[in-house]
Amino acid sequence: MALSCACAWAAGGLAVIVNPGSGVDSLSREEVSHLFLGRVKFLPSGVAAVVIDTGPMRESFYRALVDRGIAEINAYWARLRFSGRTTPPQVMENAAQVIDRVARERGAIGYVDSALVDRRVKAVFELEY
């Protein structure tokens, strides 16, 4: 198991995942960006989005997605929170928690290492970092 995870990390794949019942089969980079930056509140299927960040992977994810470091992302969310426009994604401690939440909640969307995607969730976009 450790060997396969090490290989996946070396390959650098992050999968954006949704619940299989969400009605979403794939997302574009722009759609993923809009969801994770709070610009869009619904999945393309019309289901309300519950956006989840994976704590240990936040830096890599946002760097690969929008070429911004975590300090910039945190400042972005601080401005939006202050203005009352939206709230940031919930941050989970690890990928297992993200997968469990996405598997349980129809509108949940998160990201994990590609090697960790299982049949309980559906990968709809992949990033390399």
User: pLDDT tens-digit profile of 92-121?
Assistant: 999 999 999 999 999 999 999 999 999 999
Q: Is 54 exposed, middle or buried (0-12, 13-18, 19+ CB in 10 A)?
A: buried
Q: How far apart are CA 80 and CA 104, in angstroms?
A: 28
Q: How far apart are CA 56 and CA 43, in angstroms?
A: 24
pTM beyond 0.85: the answer is yes
The pLDDT assigned to 11 comes to 53
Measured between alpha carbons, how far is residue 118 from residues 13, 68, 122 in Å?
Answer: 15, 29, 8
State mean pLDDT over 43-60. 97
Q: Any idea which of 17-21, 52-56, 81-85, 87-91 has the lowest mean pLDDT? A: 81-85
22 pLDDT more than 80? yes
CATH match for 2-128 among 3.30.43.10, 2.60.120.260, 3.40.50.10130, 3.40.190.10? 3.40.190.10
